[in-house]
Copies of this chain bind each other. A is one copy, B any other.
């Protein structure tokens, strides 16, 4: 197996969710609109993204605890301790967040408004794929 790689941040999420307590537990629960700010060196990579498109965003949930292997789902101590790979906990060995969003506007090249994103302000963005 080859060397373990370092991620490149391609941008950052700007969101009204400033504290972990502000975050809904699932996307369906009232996630607000957010803005993606793409770093200059990756602008050409988002040039074909248009309002109305549905995207899958990958974030790095940077405050996640990377030593977590088992969790109580949804932070409820009454739920049984569960292998983290059977959950969507942000505490996991590689805290990759996956979020399906709609593009609502392109404010300028590299400034993308999206709806329904439940991550904290300043969360790094690591990939974007079209939702098929």
- On A, residues with C-beta under 8 Å from B are 1-2, 4-10, 12, 42, 44-49, 56, 58, 60, 62, 66, 69-70, 82-88, 92-94, 96, 98, 122, 124, 126-130, 132
- How close is A97's CB to chain B, nearest CB, in angstroms? 10
Assess A122 versus B66: contact at CB under 8 Å? Given A45-B93, A94-B7, A130-B88. no
A122, B1: Cβ atoms closer than 8 Å: yes
Give CA–CA (A2, B12) in the complex, Å.
11
A58, B96: Cβ atoms closer than 8 Å: yes
Stoichiometry (number of copies): 2
- How close is A127's CB to chain B, nearest CB, in angstroms? 5
Partner of A127, one of B7, B92, B127: B92
Give CA–CA (A1, B7) in the complex, Å.
13
B47, A83: Cβ atoms closer than 8 Å: yes
A85, B1: Cβ atoms closer than 8 Å: no
A8, B88: Cβ atoms closer than 8 Å: no
Question: Which 3 residue pairs are nearest across A and B when measured between Cβ atoms?
Answer: A85-B128, A48-B86, A48-B83
B62, A45: Cβ atoms closer than 8 Å: no
Which residue of chain B has the shortest Cβ distance to A8 in the bound complex? B93
B46, A85: Cβ atoms closer than 8 Å: yes
